Amino acid sequence: MLLVQISDIHYGAMFRATVFQKAIDEINSMAPDAVLVTGDLTEEGLMVEFQKIKKILKKLNVEKIIYVSGNHDYRSTGYLVFQKLFPLSRITEIGDIIVVVVSSARPDRDDGEVGHRQNLWLENVLKKHSEKTKIVAIHHHIIPVPDTGADQITVVDAGDLLRSLISSKVDLVLCGHRHRPWRWQIEDMKVVHAGSVSSEKLRGFFCNSYNIITIEKGRIEEKLKIVDGNLIDFDDIVRMREVFQESDIHWQLVKDGH
């Protein structure tokens, strides 16, 4: 099973059209089983932004595209437009895998919230599919991400959500929002953060990127793909963070797209 996660497109003033088209070409060449778009399709949640990015996303030659709303999508009453143009598929079954979408965006707020009712719903859904490989997709990060500065826009009820995810034995959580690739391991659960696939707003020296998830016999392997650059193992990103910061390796890595 091959999944691709793209996040934080931010169609608007900081959108890199050429970079996004390159990402689409790369993804189409992989023929993934599904693409997950984990929020912030637009910059300001405007009708014209939604219409244009929907037209561009039609270039993805993939059977299943799973959309998650982001905080930028909920600006300017954008949540009404998002619901109209990108119908929500909260539960998607692909073979032995189930992908569950959790909505954390709230109108005109940058922080996220899951809410008690949605949390109970999530627990019930995961309980019914206990035999499957369980993936939860959410826009906001549920754990702070290194190298992203002061963090005041996380999920306000992240503790309750984390408890539900771990008790339900979720295998993988896919997040966006912080424009910084990273991975955490909590007990048997992986939490993988995506960078921005096409926004000029990037943290540090990182380039535009997306994630490639391979699942075989319940084993999950995640890699970072720099747009028009190399494939990088998340183990290397986590292990070599200190090396990157204290030498020119990090700069050379991202500057050359390798």
What domains, with CATH codes, occur in the chain?
2-255 (3.60.21.10)
Where is average pLDDT lowest: 61-75, 126-140, 141-155? 141-155
Asked if pLDDT for residue 128 goes beyond 70, the answer is: yes
- Contact status, residue 9 vs residue 176, Cβ threshold 8 Å: no
**146 pLDDT band (50/70/90 cuts)?**
confident
pLDDT, one tens digit per residue, over 45-55 is: 999 999 999 99
Helix axes 47-57 and 17-30, enclosed angle (nearest 10): 40
Cα separation, 14 vs 251, whole angstroms = 22
Non-local (6+) Cβ contacts of 217 within 8 A are none
pLDDT, one tens digit per residue, over 173-206 is: 999 999 999 999 999 999 999 999 999 999 876 7
